[in-house]
Amino acid sequence: MDSFHFLRPLWLLALIPFLAVLIILLKKQFQHGHWSRICDPELLPFILQSNFQQHSKTPIFLTAIGCLIAILAISGPTWEKLPTPVFRNISALVIVLDLSQSMNAQDIKPSRLIRARYKIADILKQRKDGQTALIVYANNAYTVTPLTNDIETITSQLTALNSQIMPRQGSNAYNAIKKATALLKQTGLNQGDILLVTDGINDSLITKITPALDPYRLSILAIGTQSGAPINLPNGGFLKDPVGTIVIPKLNLTALAELSHAGHGILQTITADDTDTNALAARFNQHPEKAKNESQDIQLDLWLERGPWLLFLVIPLASL
């Protein structure tokens, strides 16, 4: 009985008004004794008009016992756990957002990064179930929000994300994918989705990323155009290479298509409407039949409430 406790302990506070009312009733009940000391027994029926003198103490006692049992029952006494099969939505999605400087290019207005944030917000609106996480990366990867069911928390973080918050610039998608798979493995699930939101990857990283994905799927939302645009700097001007040439990052769909195919996902280029986000959201809602079957074996230990059994003790009291 070391685990004995109440599931709803605040209901025990009802004992305070219960005891107060009980004391008042008992005081009125015992007033009969005070009058008997100064009045003749023959006059008592005419002096005392209270209903309490017409009954014995038994009804009050039974009422008090019944109320006490009812309060204890509502409080939910328990001391034993019962394994209970439950259904859990095993859909898990990790969104990986590229915060490298190339995302500041304005070939897509107002910029690649701002449009990417809008698209992520649209995808989050369609996430009705399952857990979602957000990772950002440049040279290194960082977890903004771990896997959670709280979509609003992730959405609220989006507006603060820009390339200036990254301590070191670069575009190492491999580090981000490794962190994403680590988050998924922490859930203990054998399936999940990763969405890479980027304007390009280094071709040499494809052979490193692919083995790191298993058994998770990788889909890509490509941000940018194949014609590209200069990278705007915070203080004005454009980013230049070491020889002084303006850098114009162009969208390399070939590499992104190869990576998404290897990751058993889909590649979507950014669109002016919701075609891209709708396709991705539909993809994330598709789960292998094996994963659905595995979800049926999940069990949760729930406290077995004993309160309803106490109510059976009130029934014979009510009949008296």
* Residue 272 confidence (pLDDT): 93
* Residue 298 confidence (pLDDT): 56
Contact 222, 256 (CB under 8 A): yes
- Does the pLDDT value for residue 43 go beyond 70? no
Mean pLDDT of the chain: 84
Contact 247, 240 (CB under 8 A): yes
How many residues make up the chain in this entry?
A: 320
* Residue 120 confidence (pLDDT): 98
More confident: 292 or 273: 273
Contact 71, 108 (CB under 8 A): no
Distance of CA 43 to the CA centre of its chain: 73
Q: Percent of the chain at pLDDT above 90?
A: 51
- Does the pLDDT value for residue 304 go beyond 90? no
- Does the pLDDT value for residue 290 go beyond 60? no
| C-alpha to C-alpha distance for 191 and 290, rounded to whole angstroms | 10
* Residue 61 confidence (pLDDT): 77
For residue range 165-177, list pLDDT tens digits in order.
999 999 999 999 9
Output the pTM of the full model. 0.65
Please give the CATH topology (third level) of the domain spanning 92-295.
Rossmann fold (3.40.50)
Tokens matching residue 9: 């302990």
Tokens matching residue 209: 């990323």
| C-alpha to C-alpha distance for 66 and 25, rounded to whole angstroms | 15
Q: Which long-range contacts (CB under 8 A, 24 or more apart) does 141-149 make?
A: 141/96, 141/172, 141/175, 141/176, 141/178, 141/179, 143/179, 143/183, 146/183, 147/92, 147/94, 147/183, 147/184, 147/186, 147/187
* Residue 152 confidence (pLDDT): 93
For residue range 200-220, list pLDDT tens digits in order.
998 888 989 999 898 899 999
* Residue 48 confidence (pLDDT): 55
- Does the pLDDT value for residue 51 go beyond 50? no
